[in-house]
Structure 1
Amino acid sequence: MLPPRLARPAVALLVFSLLAVAAPAGADTLPHDLTPLGMFRQADWVVKAVMLGLLAASSITWIVLLAKSRELAVLMRRQRRALAALTRAASLEQAEDEDHEAGLFLATARQEWRLSSAVLDDREGLKERVAASLQRLEAASGRRAGRGTGVLATIGATAPFVGLFGTVWGIMNSFIGISQANTTNLAVVAPGIAEALLATALGLVAAIPAVVIYNHFARRLQTYRALVGDTSAAVLRLVSRDLSRRAAAPAGG
């Protein structure tokens, strides 16, 4: 029996020997850095390209969120101010005296009025032509406000599949590595699979915010288009009011 002062070193040496025997050959050369950055560095170049693309797509999503939120806030504030001014105005001339977002709508109505000066007795026809012109302006305004949101829908729809492609490619490489190493030891298999699954995780990280932000902008754009429609209706009311006033003027005189 060993003395107590020698027993502890002997036990430690025995445990170390058993671990060395149980460790698979080449285990000390296996990658152990399973942090996201470490897995990215150890991944295949195709998987790296997929991850970088998904990170770029995620960055674009947040840039669009910041830029489009500011743009829509400014547009809606101006449109509300224009609608309030048109509601207060009693005629086209009075509305044109104020500088606001509805200037293009008023100019279009006034231009159609001038072009139809020879047939002002046809009030219903004039109002229909003004309404058609204003509808085109509404559609153009909605298209301008919605620019940039389509990329969010594209990212939300494609990012999971791009990430899945990276995962499939990474797992294929992992199986090739397993066959070349002639071992199914988990320490050999796990790092490659973890690197592959990271691509799917990045795909979801890019897709989920893109879908949520796209739906948010869809609701904001719907509100903005409603404001533009109200502005168009207010201009059409002013045209109708001026026509009625013009028709009543001879009778009053």
Structure 2
Amino acid sequence: MVVLGRGDSAVRQLGLHPATTEELEQGLDQLKGFLSGRAVPTGGVAARMTWIDPFHADEVPVSVAATGPTTIAVGARHCGRVDFTVGADPRRVAWAVAEARHAVQGQGAPLSLGAFVNVAVHPDAAVARDLVRGSAAIFAHFVSEGPHDVVPDDDRAVVERVRAAYDEAAHGLTTAGQATLLPDAFLDRFAVVGSPEHCTTRLRELIDLGLDRIIVVPGSRDADPDVLAASNELFAAEVLPRLRTATGAG
């Protein structure tokens, strides 16, 4: 699967700005054209990836990583696939699912939905929170730049503080100023952190909202490697099997 987004730190740290909706739509059309083996107009000429086998390329799913309603709609309409970057609060995920479904209402087209979710599994919730604190600040920053009427009142002040303090040079670090602004209660809603039983329940709740997949974001850039490895092992050994049993997945 190929996931395309408007861009965040990858472009900001080069002094550039995220793509506009129009630029994202153009990029999606070009990407899908290249993957299907077609000649795609770009830079004033028609370019084609001659090494791509169109038969196999057609099977490559293209998804859009999205936080706000406009980008969600673009992904739903152009690709039929959206992967949300809105955190793990069920209220916000439910809103995102509804936005995607509304965008294709009446079209009868298939829709595949996923979400990027910060997940840390540890019997000590405090340890789990610290494991994803830096990466959770990234998604809080995404949310802060979207429409505020879809952010629950109890989180709005937090994401505003994150936006005001955000340091791109410390993007994804637990020690970043923006990461230290995340209260424990916010992290408990915005991420999935805690014991295997708790994480299983939280993830199952998100799946039940209409998600077809969850893309696990397991730790911050500066996470302790040993703690991260232990969390990943617990996820693979205890959380994932329970989710598969609950959803009937193989």
Same fold (TM over 0.5): no
**TM tier, smaller:** under 0.3
* Structure with the larger RCO, 1 or 2 (CA within 8 Å, 6+ apart): 1
Q: TM-score, normalised by structure 2?
A: 0.19
Bigger proportion of residues as helix:
1
CA radius of gyration, larger in? 1
